[in-house]
Amino acid sequence: MAASLRSFARVAVIQTRFAPALHRVPSIQSHISTKALRIHTSAVRKGALDDAGGLTNILEDESIPIRVANVSKEEIVLADGLVLPPNCLFLNGHIFTWNTPVVKMMEVMPNGRGWEAWTDDIWTIFETVTPRPELLIIGTGDTVLPVPPSIRSFLNSLGIQLDVQSTRNACSTYNLLSEEGRRVSAAFVRVE
């Protein structure tokens, strides 16, 4: 019962903290689902009754970090058992399903060919979120696909560095950097 209440509380944070910002920017609505995910967590948390004196630090960040356990072409499985679609976004400890254009692996070129449908509007969530991540890791399926300079320069103008890796390596790097406490975000692209 306590675990389900914590899951509900985390979902409520996603709805109240990010949904208003997403509704204010109309272009984001077509690319990012504002539906809250019901997140099951299996991590053990220290409760108020476990503390000496029964006091709880309300300023402490109790968010459970996102940890990826397994990756395949069809899904990303988190350490707590949650199964996600291959196109999702991890941002500031929250998970968003990300409705983005499909990238066709055989059409992608370093000059931007194959990414024409990826406009700056897709990345607008990074303009509205605070704090912004210092690094965005993009997972591009089984292989590393070159991201066009326009995407890289847009994100760099927001103060966000970009690292493009295969999805499996992007998940490993995300796990490592988030465990170190870095402000890191991950975006996973659906590739065909």
Q: What is the DSSP letter of 56?
A: -
User: Which of 14, 16, 6, 189 has the alpha carbon at shortest distance from 105?
Assistant: 189
User: Which of 78, 55, 54 has the alpha carbon at shortest distance from 67?
Assistant: 78
- Number of C-beta neighbours around residue 39 at 10 A: 19
Task: State the pLDDT at residue 98.
Answer: 86
SS3 label, residue 164? strand
Q: Which two tokens stand for residue 137?
A: 């890791």
Which residue, chain included where needed, has tokens 């309300």?
58
Pairwise CA distance, residues 139 & 175, whole Å: 13
Residues 6+ apart with CB under 8 A from 45: 6, 62, 64
Which residue, chain included where needed, has tokens 């914590």?
6
Pairwise CA distance, residues 22 & 2, whole Å: 30
Q: Sign of dihedral through CA atoms 9, 19, 97, 153? A: negative
Q: Where are the domains of the chain?
A: 2-188
Output the DSSP codes for 166-188.
-HHHHHHHHHHHHHTT--EEEEE
pTM of the model: 0.69
Task: State the pLDDT at residue 61.
Answer: 59
Per-residue pLDDT of the chain (192 residues; tens, 9 = 90+): 444 444 433 433 444 344 443 433 343 444 444 444 444 444 434 444 444 555 655 665 556 789 999 999 999 999 999 999 999 999 999 999 988 999 998 999 888 899 999 998 999 999 999 999 999 999 999 999 999 999 999 999 999 999 999 999 999 999 999 999 999 999 999 998
Strand 135-139 versus strand 184-188 pairing type? parallel
Q: Which two tokens stand for residue 13?
A: 């944070």
Task: State the pLDDT at residue 111.
Answer: 84
Residues 99-146: pLDDT tens digits? Answer: 899 999 899 988 889 999 999 899 999 999 999 999 999 999 999 999
Q: Which CATH number fits domain 2-188: 1.10.10.10, 1.10.1660.10, 3.40.1230.10, 3.30.1180.20?
A: 3.40.1230.10
